[in-house]
């Protein structure tokens, strides 16, 4: 029997990543934003991040006493950029998706994180996370639950707390 027979992939149960997030959120944060630490105007074409992150970093560096609202924080790319330059108490992130909110709470423990969606009314509303071609895409979460995306194959819907920006 050759050595290759012993090299089988290990598939971790879903509870293992959750445990890692609870035990070592800094490790998870470093993995999530590994490419962001190398991101610059010189690496823009190689890394493929959103260029507005670099513009935001320049603004944050020049105005380090500013307050920043990351509305629809998702996985926290803009919050990560803000955290490099701003005091955590000046960073407000808003994410209604419970799964992403839980991750953000562990990865960014010092910022002001809120589990709400902004809307034109203060009320509970349905929120949708569509699956496109069978793959759930958290970045496409929306309050527009009746809209159907091209190649949308299914969607998870749940109720979220909404408020107006003026009432925050």
Each of the 168 residues of the chain gets a pLDDT tens digit; together they read 444 444 445 454 555 566 777 777 787 787 777 877 777 888 777 776 788 889 999 999 999 999 999 999 999 999 999 999 999 999 999 999 999 999 999 999 999 999 999 999 999 999 999 999 999 998 899 999 999 999 999 999 999 999 999 999
Structure tokens at 128: 């949708």
The residues, ordered by sequence, that sit 6+ positions from 69 with a Cβ below 8 Å of its Cβ are 92, 93, 94
Structure tokens at 72: 């629809």
pLDDT of residue 14: 55
Query: pTM of the predicted model, to two decimals?
Result: 0.81
Residue 106: CA atoms inside 13 Å, Cβ hemisphere, count? 21
Structure tokens at 157: 């819907």
């Amino acid at each position: 029997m050759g050595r290759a027979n012993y090299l089988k992939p290990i598939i971790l149960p879903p509870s293992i990543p959750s445990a890692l997030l609870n035990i070592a959120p800094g490790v998870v944060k470093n993995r999530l934003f590994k490419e962001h630490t190398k991101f610059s105007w010189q690496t823009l074409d190689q890394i493929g991040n959103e260029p507005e992150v670099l513009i935001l970093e320049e603004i944050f560096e020049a105005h380090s006493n500013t307050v920043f609202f990351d509305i629809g924080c998702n996985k926290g790319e803009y919050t990560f950029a803000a955290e490099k330059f701003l005091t955590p108490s000046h960073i407000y992130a808003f994410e209604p998706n419970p799964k992403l909110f839980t991750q953000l709470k562990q990865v960014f423990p010092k910022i002001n994180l809120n589990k709400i969606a902004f809307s034109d009314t203060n009320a509970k509303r349905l929120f949708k996370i569509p699956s496109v071609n069978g793959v759930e895409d958290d970045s496409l979460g929306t309050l527009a639950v009746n809209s159907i995306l091209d190649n949308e194959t299914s969607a998870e819907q749940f109720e979220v707390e909404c408020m107006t920006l003026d009432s925050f």
